Amino acid sequence: MKIRPLQDRLIVKRVAEENKTKGGLYIPETAKEKPLEGHVVAVGNGKVLEDGKVRPLDIKAGDTILFSKYAGTEIKLDGEEHLILREEDVLGVVEK
């Protein structure tokens, strides 16, 4: 299934959760938190301003982003969990 987000929305796939801490301890399933980092799968055309102009998004497909803990709406695409976020929910772009 293919989805194209509207306006200033993004479709994001979370990065894989870590099973081990930096100290080498394994984290049980019940203690894990969902990662706040993800890869942008698709982006909308941009935000429509009050004067009717469309401002393109600063984020593009393929970027790795950080987002707030309770941001977005969870959806399933082809059996995988994704998030639909607004651009304003993105805290930053990870540059490598």
Mean pLDDT of the chain: 84
Average pLDDT over residues 2-25: 80
Is 40 in a helix, a strand, or coil?
A: strand
Q: What is the pTM of this model?
A: 0.77
What CA–CA distances, in Å, run from 64 to 1, 12, 95?
A: 22, 9, 8
Q: Is 47 exposed, middle or buried (0-12, 13-18, 19+ CB in 10 A)?
A: middle
Token match 């306006």: residue?
7
64-86: per-residue pLDDT in tens?
999 988 888 999 888 888 999 99
